Chains A and B, each alone.
Chain A
Amino acid sequence: MSQLGEQIRRQLPYQRRNAASLALLIFAMVLTLSAFAEVGLARDGQIPAGLFGYGGGLVVLALAAYFVQARFAPYADPLLLPLAVALNGLGLAMIYRLDLDTSADRKAAAAAGKQILKDAADASSQLMWTFVGIALFVAAVLIMRDVNRTDAPLSFTPKTAQRYTYIIGLGAILLLLLPIVPGIGAEINGARVWINVAGFSVQPGEFAKLMLVVFFAGYLVNKRQAMSLIGKKIGPLSLPRARDLGPILVIWVFCLGVLFMQKDLGTALLYFGLFVSMLYIATQRVSWVLIGVGLLAVGVFIATLLPFMGHVNQRIDIWQNPKPYFDGGCLLEDGKVEPVNPDTEIYKQYDAELERKADEYERAGQTDKAEQTRLIGPGYYACSKLGGSYADSAQLMKGLFALGEGGVLGTGLGQGEPWRTPLSFSDFIFDSLGEELGLTGLMALLLIYALIVQRGMKTAVAARDPFLKLFAGGVSFVLALQVFVIVGGVTRLIPLTGLTTPFLSQGGSSLMANWILIAILVRMSHDARKPAPQSIQDEGMTQIVSTR
């Protein structure tokens, strides 16, 4: 596993690429600032006030991150920081742009005394989380010192994590289970992936993802020998022993559990894909990938067969044919879909019925019951009366309309109508960007992700320690998989799952976790690329190496 890295290191000693890094970082800032400028020019014909506040804030943060990296990790990969800043900046610009459109609505709603939408584009909180994220990046780069610096008071390197493999694995599972705990867990938009901590909604899954990488890396470093060497050879494949199948089966069952309890196909796919890919990195055996893909297919098949997994079936149904579900559809027992959108008779009928009931409660003096009745969606109510399961594909379809609206070149930032898609600032930000930047812009964004992943893989190749190799490889793979799951979901390549789009989506947990991920890669790439002190034995025993 290390020969390739050794070879690369010998061919070309790595050098500091701080100048290139700074140049690209400045480019990333120009990109962000011009995105803000375009929004303002298109909307009001002038440079927007947000350019100085938000753009300026990002510039200061990014420069601070750069100086810390240049000082404490000078051999770090030059691309990681600028690419992350570019994505973060573009996301911020898009959220700012959506905020401009929705803030007017929110003000009107507040003035009318209505409940304000809790979920809305909020550029100022996104800037605050960017600040927190970059501060965590800086802190992580500072804390994770050089491997050889044992005198640092907090000598925590990525390698230190190896000692706590099982504790971290346990922690990851606890974090994943937290949202299910009543009292702490919170359900937002139908997904139980949130917890409430001190007034903030936190997605522990974002952090659990990193901890799982550590756990898998630590575990596989110990077991890879057995998993890669022993086994029967059948044709070009060498199959592992039955007892070495244990871990992959455990992870598989665990992912099925996530699928059942959190009703989340994408997350299950993320964790299982991560384990299989790390197993492949550790053992270099294709048979593991085939076994993994096979198990995944079996898992999805089981999920579609079980009666209480109806929602997975429905997800798949929406994915294949979203149209009848637009603004509300009802999957009946016989597998047919009955539209229950506001234009249908059945919707109007139950809408009237709900209204009548609410009025009755009001007359009876039960105002709280009346309130509750008014909150029930007529489509949902109609569907429960029909005995089917309700789902709404409006979000997905509006996202697709947005992509269609954007076309190849997009409408231009600030000139489209991406706010029409629900969650256009978080889960569907990729579609929002697609509407305004077009296919041309989306390709560039995907390339930026691909470059980050490539730099991570390169770090893994160059790393000297097998644990760090797996750590870096796993971290880059989890980023790639997450982008695949969410971008595939919103473009209807795979069934939709609400994951965040790394660095682009609005949300603190995601930004913090991803900035830590970049900090880990920066530190590992510094350690991997820094020239090793040369042994004087190379030059013969008698030679005077250093003269005064």
Chain B
Amino acid sequence: MSEFTLTLIKLAFLAVLWLFVIAAVGVIRADLFGSKAALRAAQPAQRPARQSRPPRAQRSAPTKLVVVQGERAGTVIDLTGMPITIGRANDSTLVVTDDYASSRHARLYAQDGQWIVEDLGSTNGTYLGRTKVSRPMPVPAGVPIRIGKTVIELRK
């Protein structure tokens, strides 16, 4: 192979190397300042979109809520997509008669096909598995949620 061709190949390789670096920087540039698509995604979702059908539930989405432990053990509530409130208050979806539960203790709601648990400022806290729920957390199926002496689970 001639000297000239080899020089061309050498320069071409260096060019490819630098193009790679520039492409990588390009990806972060979009990451830092946001591409148009990113900005559009950042806009709050428009109302009409919200009124339309909720996203089709994923295959893995849980379909019922089961009380596993506590006085109401065995109770099953079908998950319809409506938020579920849990507490001692009579208007709760799941009323628990338990000294360790607050009157408005926690809430479960669906978002983007998954269920989220949120503590409503209860006295004794809500636990998802072993973690204390300090901010809304997604609830995978089969993970126990403990509210006072009551333990509930989402099941498929």
Q: Smallest Cβ distance from B98 to chain A, in angstroms?
A: 23
Pairwise interchain contact B1-A448, C-beta atoms closer than 8 A = no
Verify B17–A12 contact, CB threshold 8 A: no
With both chains docked as a complex, state the minimum distance between the C-beta of A527 and any C-beta of chain B, in angstroms. 13
Does residue B99 face the partner (Cβ distance < 8 Å to A)? no
Known contacts A535-B135, A536-B118; A38 and B9 CB within 8 A of each other: yes
Q: How far is the CA of A150 from the CA of B133 in the complex (A)?
A: 12
Chain A residues near B143 (CB, 8 Å)? Answer: 150-151
Q: Is B131 an interface residue (CB 8 A)?
A: yes
| Interface flag for A28 (CB, 8 Å) | yes
Q: Is B74 an interface residue (CB 8 A)?
A: no
In which size bucket is the chain A interface? Answer: 35 or more
Q: Is A124 an interface residue (CB 8 A)?
A: no
- Given A45-B1, A149-B140, are A444 and B6 neighbors across the interface (CB < 8 Å)? no
**A150 lies within 8 A of B24 (CB):** no
CB distance from B94 to the nearest CB of A (A): 17
Are B10 and A413 in contact (CB-based, < 8 A)? yes
Interface range for B: 35 or more
* Cα A193 to Cα B109 with chains together (Å): 55
Q: Is the CB of A27 within 8 A of B6?
A: no
Contact indicator per residue, chain B 74-113, by CB within 8 Å of chain A (1) or not (0)? 0000001111000000000000000000000001011100
- Point out the residue from B24, B54, B118, B130 that lies within 8 Å of A535, measured CB to CB: B118
Interface: B73 (CB within 8 A): no
Are A440 and B14 in contact (CB-based, < 8 A)?
yes
- Residues of B within 8 Å of A534, CB to CB, are 111, 136
Q: Determine the chain A residues whose CB is within 8 A of the CB of B31 once the complex forms.
A: 17, 78
The answer to the question of A293 belonging to the interface, with a C-beta cut-off of 8 Å to chain B, is no
Please report A residues at the B interface, Cβ cutoff 8 Å.
11-13, 15, 17, 20-21, 23-24, 27-28, 30-31, 34-35, 38, 41-42, 45, 78-79, 82-83, 86, 148-151, 409-413, 415, 437-438, 440-441, 444, 447-448, 451, 454-455, 532-537, 545-548
A-binding residues in B (CB < 8 A): 1, 6-7, 9-14, 16-21, 23-25, 27-28, 30-31, 34, 37-39, 41-42, 51, 54, 80-83, 107, 109-111, 114, 116, 118, 128-131, 135-138, 140, 142-143
Inter-chain pairs besides A12-B34, A12-B38, A410-B10, 5 sampled, C-beta below 8 Å: A17-B27, A415-B10, A532-B135, A533-B138, A534-B136
* 29 CB < 8 A contacts A-B: A11-B42, A12-B39, A17-B27, A21-B27, A30-B16, A34-B16, A79-B28, A82-B24, A150-B130, A150-B143, A412-B7, A413-B10, A415-B10, A438-B14, A440-B14, A440-B18, A444-B14, A444-B20, A447-B21, A533-B111, A533-B138, A535-B118, A536-B107, A545-B83, A545-B109, A546-B82, A546-B111, A548-B54, A548-B80
